[in-house]
Amino acid sequence: MNWTFLTESHTLGILIGIAFGVAARIAMLQTDYRQYPTYPHGKIIHISLGVIAAGLGAVAAPTLLDKNYTAFTFLGVAAQQFRDVRNMERQSLARIDEMELVPRGTTYIEGIAMVFEGRNYLVIFVSFLSSACTLAFGWYGGALAGIVALIVAIRFKSGKSLGDIADIEPAEVRIDGPDLYVGDIYIMNIGLREDRRAIVQHAVGLMVTPRSAGARIAITNPGQRQALLHDVSSVLGLYKDEGEPALNPMCRLNMNEGRMGVFLLPYERDSEKAKEAAKRVPVLESAVRLPKESAAQKSHGEGGRA
């Protein structure tokens, strides 16, 4: 590849683009209660990929300015590499999930892998925009554009959480004979007296009430429910060991009203902490549905208005 078209202004644009691109990747990289990415090696991997993505985005602007369209096609190769990163994340998390007491589930894993691929594209966007504005308006224009693009990237780094689409409140956990209930929702049958004693001492219940038809469909998704159980158990711990299926956290629906009862067995019996942890559970993209946008719903609504 011929890089003789690079001038001093091009070099400045590339450097500013790389700087803002790397800053965007660092800002979007966070090790939280899910312990992913791991520290420090997981972060090193993703920051290194962020540097590569920032370099690709920063160099794309001067290649377009010089009408060097052949060099610009390497972005297609980069896209394939980032798809491979997504596959790598998916496979790694699937292996880890086999050893979890409360697994993430395949839907959650796919969402995490998709997010890490998408964030590399956000890095390319930030670095390309700041580099292009540096070439067009000088370093001050590039810096301003980089700051704006950085804010946009941080805004789009994550989507809605469960607290945005549903009301979550603590609910009573009760045992009626061998039957376990959260509020008025039946959860399961508990046969062993020792298990019933552990539930009485440690159980926490939550009631999740969707705010719309789309939210109701989202919380019925098995992947979304598994993500809720995994995240809350990660935050509060889990009072169980392997081979104790009666102590597994569980969600059950009231089919008539759409409410969902959540049964949890945390180390720390604190309903308010469980409520706050549940509110922060991400809404999985694969669980989102828009029933009001369907042709059937629209035609039905028009008929009703007529």
pLDDT per residue as tens digits for the range 73-89: 777 777 777 788 788 88
Please tell me whether residues 134 and 231 are part of one structural domain.
Answer: no
Whether the per-residue pLDDT at 234 is higher than 90: the answer is no
Q: pLDDT (tens digit, 9 = 90+) per residue, 20-58? A: 999 988 888 765 555 556 666 677 888 888 888 888 888
Residue 84 per-residue DSSP state: H
Residues 42 and 20 in one domain: yes
Q: Which two tokens mark 167?
A: 């009301």
**Helices (H), ranges, the chain:** 8-28, 41-65, 69-72, 74-97, 106-137, 139-155, 162-165, 193-202, 213-220, 222-236, 271-279, 295-305
Nearest to 105 by CA among 87, 117, 93, 114: 93
Residue 5 pLDDT exceeds 90: no
**Are 28 and 105 in a shared domain?**
yes
Residues 71 and 117 occupy one common structural domain: yes
Looking at 155, 187, 219, the residue that finishes a domain is: 155
233, amino acid identity: S
Q: Do 143 and 41 fall within a single domain?
A: yes
Q: How many domains does the chain have?
A: 2
Residue labelled with tokens 């019925």: 220
The SS3 assignment for 188 reads strand
CB–CB of 230/111 below 8 Å? no
Count other C-beta atoms under 10 Å from residue 46's C-beta: 20
283: in domain: yes
Among 66-80, 121-135, 239-253, 287-301, top mean pLDDT goes to 121-135
- Do 166 and 117 sit in the same domain of this protein? no
Query: In the numeric block, which tokens belong to residue 159?
Result: 């989507």
DSSP state at residue 153:
H
Give yes or no: residues 136 and 188 share one domain.
no
User: Domain span at residue 40?
Assistant: 8-155
Asked if pLDDT for residue 303 goes beyond 50, the answer is no
Q: Are residues 13 and 150 in the same domain?
A: yes
pLDDT in tens, 189-211: 887 888 888 888 888 999 999 98
Has residue 84 been placed in a domain? yes
Phi, psi of 251 (to 5 degrees): -120, 140
3-state secondary structure of 50: helix
Global pTM value: 0.77
| Cα angle 75-76-82, degrees, rounded to a multiple of 5 | 85
Q: Which residues touch 133 (CB under 8 Å, ≥6 apart)?
A: 141, 142, 144, 145, 146
Of the pLDDT bands very low, low, confident and very high (cuts 50, 70, 90), residue 120 is: confident
Name the band, by pLDDT with cuts 50, 70 and 90, for residue 177.
confident
